[in-house]
Structure 1
Amino acid sequence: MKQYPFHNIPFQNLQKKDMSFEEVFVHIVEFMELNPTGNYQLMVGTDSQVHKKHTVFITGIVIRQVGNGVWGCIRKVMIPRRMLHLHERISQELSLTEEIVSLFTEERKNQLIDIVLPAVYQGATFTMEGHIDIGIGKRNKTREFVKEMVARMESMGVEPKIKPDAFVASSYANRYTKQE
């Protein structure tokens, strides 16, 4: 796997590899422009998996038109060591999510909002969510980190979602962490 500084790591999906963030953003705009009267959720989340000699982090970006399809992509980051401490790994997952969320500048978010704005009175919506791969269940080892991680997401102006609602991190990204 190629090594990049984090901010230069390309995105990919089943249709296209080596996408820049600019290309990803264009895909999101085009997806939303197909139906400006839709209810859209822009979701970003990261999951990780410790392998024999490294730890893989997959960050997913998903734009969902509720009831009418999705478009998504992932970005893979490999840390060349086993990150065995849960807090460190969860914190790194959130840092990678925060990095992607920060690429959605106010100008870019406003561009997405402007797509649905003319149809707001017909019910069109746009929200942005940060999916965090943690939960509050009694048997969930990550429950002690919930307040800290949720506060980090909220401080970025993004609606935090935890398990079971954090499916971009816990399901979509998780699928790709198992691959070496």
Structure 2
Amino acid sequence: MKNNSNHHFLFKNLKEKRMSFERVFEHIKEFMRSEPSGKYRLIIGTDSQVHPRQTTFITGVVILNEGKGVWACIRKVVVPRKMEHLHERISYELSLSEEIVSLFTEEKKNQLIDIVLPHVYDGASFTMEGHIDIGAGKRNKTREFVNEMVTRMESIGVEPKIKPNAFVASCYANRFTK
């Protein structure tokens, strides 16, 4: 019997409204197989927006073939209260990203690596990044959380990126939180 522990993870994009994680993973593999010699970055990042009665979290899952295109989807989570404490919100954003990263088991990551492996001498590559919607700039309210959040991403084997390089969290996911 197939393990359905991922059934509560529903993703969507402009073409499909209710995708399971398995379906998302199939899309990623299809996208990579269409050009196995690509330079692929699998990027997961979450952003949030506080509304009057709730806080909306959007996690973006993006497979990017540098300079050649992208396939992406989102997962939406709504917390039925205003999360006004910045550290709590940033930490929860990261937890949601960590949850999605954990679905990419070693077996799944190896399946993706196996697509590009025969083409590494042609420049093919595969990396996994976690985009965190925080910045280290002096005027950035989130700068005090950078070390903690970056360490959390690194500890799960994902290359952390913060603003201005965290575009999946700060741009893509952000568009859907409004």
Residue 9 of structure 1, CA deviation: 3.4
**Pairing 1:31-110 to 2, within 5 Å after superposition:** 31-110=31-110
- Separation in 2 of the partners of 1:97 and 1:13? 17
> Counterpart in 1 of 2:169?
169
- Separation in 1 of the partners of 2:133 and 2:73? 17
> Counterpart in 2 of 1:129?
129
Whether contact under 8 Å (1:9, 1:77) holds in the other structure is no
Letter in 1 for 2:174: N
The number of residues matched between the two structures is 173
Letter in 2 for 1:122: D
Q: Runs in 1 of length 4+ with deviation above 4 angstroms?
A: none
Letter in 1 for 2:59: T
Letter in 1 for 2:11: F
- Separation in 1 of the partners of 2:112 and 2:100? 16
Whether contact under 8 Å (1:116, 1:124) holds in the other structure is yes
Letter in 1 for 2:83: M
Residue 101 of structure 1, CA deviation: 0.3
3-state DSSP class of the match of 1:8?
coil
Percent of aligned pairs with the same amino acid:
73
> Counterpart in 1 of 2:150?
150
Q: Structure 2 length as normaliser, TM-score?
A: 0.96
- Deviation digits for residues 58-103 of structure 1 (CA, Å, limit 9, x no counterpart): 0000000001000000000000000000000000000000000000
Letter in 2 for 1:60: G
- Deviation digits for residues 92-119 of structure 1 (CA, Å, limit 9, x no counterpart): 0000000000000000000000000000
> Counterpart in 1 of 2:15?
15
> Counterpart in 2 of 1:3?
none
| Aligned-pair Cα RMSD in Å | 0.9
Q: Structure 1 length as normaliser, TM-score?
A: 0.95
Unaligned runs of 5+ in 1: 1-5
